[in-house]
Amino acid sequence: MLRLFTEALGDFLVDRLSSMPLKPTASFALPGTIIGRNAVNLFLSSIAEDAGLRSNELQYERTEIGWLSTPPPLRLKCTYIISAWPASDDPAEAALAQQQILGEAYRVLVHAGTLPAAYIPPFMKSPNIPAPVIAISKDELHNRPEFWLSTGCTFRPAFSLAATVALPIVEEHYDHIVEGVQTDYKISPSRQ
């Protein structure tokens, strides 16, 4: 499910950047593995449950055989490191192209707020599933030299994007809930 969301996020970003002369593609590989093409890299660096959005209330839906109860969706905070990779071999041109791609990607994502409905994967289009929320994050992993050394490349400008994604939990229970009870009490004549 996360793969579909990450690909949808990449499609959204590439579509919004398609009017650029550089026309970057989306890449999801480890930074530094993109060679010979203009690309914007969306590297998923961490996944954690967003406990602040946790809900324990079951959701109920009436069916032909009773009430269907499903647990609330799992809310995950996914942090992406967004970096740009130009195709140019000229170091000066490559640096400027990288800045242009990264700046445009930042502009698109900072104004988005959420992934538009046209890009949301089908499993997230249920009325019980909130739309993914995206926001520029203060995660500092991309500023750490050990991160870039571990990828085998030198330091690059980058920024972090946090996406809060609701994933449905596939667990259904049919409950036979009593809808109404009528109780008749016999009233005895009062004693005198």
pLDDT digits (tens, 9 = 90+) for 96-139: 999 999 999 999 999 998 999 899 988 788 777 788 889 998 87
What average pLDDT does the segment 52-60 reach?
61
- Residues of the chain above pLDDT 70, percent: 76
Full DSSP string of the chain: -HHHHHHHHHHHHHHHHTTSTT-PEEE-SPTT---SS-EEEEEEEEEEE-GGG-----EEEEETTEEEEEPPPEEEEEEEEEEEE---SSHHHHHHHHHHHHHHHHHHHHHHSB--GGGS-GGG-STTSPPPEEEEE---GGG-HHHHHHHTS----EEEEEEEEEE-----EEE----------PPPPPP-
Show the tokens assigned to 134: 């995206």
Token pair for residue 32? 């530094």
Q: Hey, where are the domains in the chain?
A: 2-175
For 143-168, what is each residue's pLDDT tens digit? 777 777 787 777 788 899 999 888 77
For the whole prediction, is pTM greater than 0.85? no
Q: Which amino acid is at 166?
A: A
The Cα 80–Cα 160 span in angstroms is 6
Buried b or exposed e, range 108-142, using 16+ CB within 10 angstroms: bbeebeebeeebbbeebeeeebebbbbeebebebb
